[in-house]
Amino acid sequence: MEHSHTPDGPPAYQRLADDLRAGITDRTYPPGTTLPKIADLAQQYGISKQTATEAVHLLASEGLVEVVRRRGTVVRHRSGRTVITRERQVFRDEIGYYFDPAAQPWAALREPDLGWVPAPPDIAALLGIESGAPVFARDRLMGNPDTREPKQAATSYLPDAVARDTVLTERDTGPGGIYDRLEQDLARGPLTWHETIGARMPTPTEAADLRLPKGTPVLRVLRTATSPDGTAVEVNDTRMSAADFEIGYPITRHPSAQLS
């Protein structure tokens, strides 16, 4: 059956994408199977190969399919999302502070990358320093220690005035990590934290480290640690797959919303 374009209808590539998306949803095309070839789709829908390709690229940008060399367009396996619950609290176990109960069992999958780097503009703004000023970065890839599946990339940025010539730049910062050193050894505590949550497309390195299919954005949690005098002493930049994780948090009643 031909699907000719009508002036009042959606573009041909979008109609094809809608049909294929419906087929993926109702499991006409189950996860792991390949969609019909571009040439076959073009012939079936009476459209050009370029238009059929645009439809497939749209599905890929939505994270529904992945174009695999020498195989074709493969329907992605989509597991249920894990909810990272932001309790608006900081927790502690025998290792040190942690912020996500769901992430507590995760471990470093490789040795952290350490070194002085220019502060990215958004990180510099949170630290109250000039963009490009030196900051010490501690970059880690965290995941399931049994399956070695990556879950999140996390980078701590420490300003020069806080980290220079301290244990914070050493590979092993001791029990409790950098937060215990800041509070217990460097007189920067008790710390308080503030975080924001956003999303963006990944860098090529992030896409490779987190094994992200093409078109998958990352959730980004920026958490700023502040000392009692108001100095921002660290920014933690955590990135995770937006296809696999979502952020949840409890909602409590403000005094103005209490039942009488």
Question: What was the pLDDT predicted at 145?
Answer: 93
**What does the domain layout of the chain look like in residue ranges?**
12-75, 82-248
Whether 153 and 206 have beta carbons less than 8 Å apart is answered as yes
From the DSSP assignment, how many helices (H) and strands (E) are in the chain?
Answer: 7, 13
Name the token pair of 54. 């645009």
pLDDT score recorded for residue 92? 87
Point out the residues of the chain with pLDDT beneath 70.
Answer: 1-8, 78-88
pLDDT attached to residue 5: 47
| Number of Cβ within a 10 Å radius of residue 10 | 12
> Can you give the pLDDT at residue 96?
85
Identical fold between 12-75 and 82-248? no
What pLDDT is attached to residue 205?
Answer: 93
β-sheet bridge partners, residue 75: 65
| pLDDT attached to residue 43 | 93
d(CA 91, CA 40): 56
Only one residue has tokens 């249920």, namely 80
- Give the CATH class of 12-75: mainly alpha
Dist CA 244 CA 148 (whole Å)? 16
Question: Contacts for 1-6 with beta carbons within 8 Å, 24 or more apart?
Answer: 1/44, 2/45, 2/46, 3/45, 3/46, 3/47, 4/46
Cβ contacts of 78 within 8 Å, gap of 6 or more: 31, 63, 64, 243
What are phi and psi for residue 9, nearest 5 degrees? -95, 175
Predicted pLDDT of residue 2:
41
Q: 82-248 architecture in CATH?
A: 3-Layer(aba) Sandwich (3.40)
